[in-house]
Homo-oligomer: A and B are copies of this chain.
Amino acid sequence: MRDVAVIGIGQTPIGELWNLSLRELGASALRQAAADAGIEKPDTLYVANMLAARLSNQAHLATLIADYSGWRGIEAATIEAACASGGMAFQTAVRAVASGMVDVVAVCGVEKMTDETTAQITSALATAADADYEGSHGASFVALNALIMRRYMYEYKVPHEAFGAFSINAHKNAVNNPNAMFRKAISQAVYDRAPMIADPINLYDSSPICDGAAAVILAPLEMARAMNKPVIRVRASASATDTLSLADRHNMLSLEAASASAKKAYQQAGVNPSDIDLFEVHDAFSVMSALSLEGAGFAEAGTAPYRAQDGEFTIGGRLPISTMGGLKGRGHPVGATGVYELVDLITQLRGEAGANQVQDAALGLTQNIGGTGATVVAHILERAG
């Protein structure tokens, strides 16, 4: 088993990008990553995408983007696990390089959501849940998360306002990220009076519908060591699953796939949660930030919002999260998100995060969540020279 490293990253700004098609977004991020890596083309491309078949009438996306990137002929496949597509594509790429069967593998997360009506987008996002037992009853994806948040507030007696700290932190960090969708700070008062989306989830508890693409290039560690740039090594790549349907869970406030994937990742890397310098969390909804932090061992059940209020998760805090704005402030182009999380983490580990730089960031974790916690992917990356 070969050690694996990241040798290049790229991303497009996130927003409502009506003038750019799927192939243009994907190729833009990939060409940037290839230039950063100093490679002409990869052996293999894995594209992470969830919605193109429904919202753009386009399946077979990886091959299309390989061709449009100027790489006609290379291997290509699309990886999908709802909003965890990006993390699973990265894991697939890690194994391809580790196998020794290929050397240089590109991963591109790309999503284009804003060309269709809100009804079509809402229906498409609902395919992340159980179509026969949740979607068929009209449960939208926000509605399912609202059930979880309501239960969290009831079970742990946490007031809604306590969740505001997650959104305030994410928006604050997004201000300094030129690729973020919302470069605007918000206050607790703004959070508290935001319009309701699906009670108790308000506008600032939710991540936005948006377009974007992010890319990374993976290679054997020895190849990375020969390059004249920070070496970013993949220390752990772990994933786990749970039921799609909330009704089938033992406890909807305990994301078993989040704790299982994090535990496996810590074991693979031989580290403890306290060794992690920063955590790119999957803050699609503020309650997901809380459950992910608790599942990954950074807070006791029912306490994460209070810890956020105490400033533990800000840059400069004990464990910075959403350091470039997260899904809430940077944006959440769903199939691309897991790759954006990794790009943000790598930017930090390289020491290239500018005003948002986490001091002495050497070891970081990402957790990418699909559905309401049905698929969770954890990666630990390290600056290794």
Q: Name the B residues within 8 Å of A132 (CB-CB).
A: 21, 23, 58
A87 and chain B: residue at smallest CB distance: B77
Is A74 at the interface (CB under 8 A from chain B)?
yes
Is A169 at the interface (CB under 8 A from chain B)?
no
A66 to B374: give the CA distance in the assembly, Å: 11
Contact of A63 among B64, B77, B102, B375 (CB under 8 A): B375
Q: Name the B residues within 8 Å of A82 (CB-CB).
A: 59-60, 63
Contact of A241 among B54, B67, B242, B248 (CB under 8 A): B67
Interface size on A (CB < 8 Å)?
Answer: 66
**Which of A212-247 touch B at CB < 8 Å?**
237, 239-244
A302 to B78: give the CA distance in the assembly, Å: 33
Q: Is the CB of B60 within 8 A of A370?
A: yes
Q: Is the CB of A244 within 8 A of B128?
A: no
A130 and chain B: residue at smallest CB distance: B64
Interface of A is mostly: mixed
A98 to B53: give the CA distance in the assembly, Å: 31
Contact of A59 among B23, B50, B94 (CB under 8 A): B50
Contact of A73 among B57, B124, B128, B256 (CB under 8 A): B256
Q: Name the B residues within 8 Å of A81 (CB-CB).
A: 60, 62-63, 76-78
Is A347 at the interface (CB under 8 A from chain B)?
no
Q: Name the B residues within 8 Å of A21 (CB-CB).
A: 132
Is A176 at the interface (CB under 8 A from chain B)?
no
Q: Name the B residues within 8 Å of A102 (CB-CB).
A: 95
Q: Is the CB of B100 within 8 A of A1?
A: yes
Is A123 at the interface (CB under 8 A from chain B)?
yes
> A77-B81, A98-B100, A101-B95 are contacts. A244–B50 as well, Cβ < 8 Å?
no
Is A184 at the interface (CB under 8 A from chain B)?
no
Q: Name the B residues within 8 Å of A91 (CB-CB).
A: 75, 77
A257 and chain B: residue at smallest CB distance: B73
Q: Name the B residues within 8 Å of A123 (CB-CB).
A: 57
Q: Is the CB of B63 within 8 A of A374?
A: yes
Is A99 at the interface (CB under 8 A from chain B)?
yes
Contact of A67 among B63, B77, B248 (CB under 8 A): B248
A242 to B68: give the CA distance in the assembly, Å: 11
Q: Is the CB of B1 within 8 A of A101?
A: yes
A333 to chain B, nearest CB (A): 15
A240 to B102: give the CA distance in the assembly, Å: 13
Is A107 at the interface (CB under 8 A from chain B)?
no
Q: Name the B residues within 8 Å of A370 (CB-CB).
A: 60, 63
A92 and chain B: residue at smallest CB distance: B92
Q: Is the CB of A58 within 8 A of B131?
A: yes
Q: Name the B residues within 8 Å of A193 (CB-CB).
A: none
Is A201 at the interface (CB under 8 A from chain B)?
no
Q: Name the B residues within 8 Å of A67 (CB-CB).
A: 241-244, 248, 374
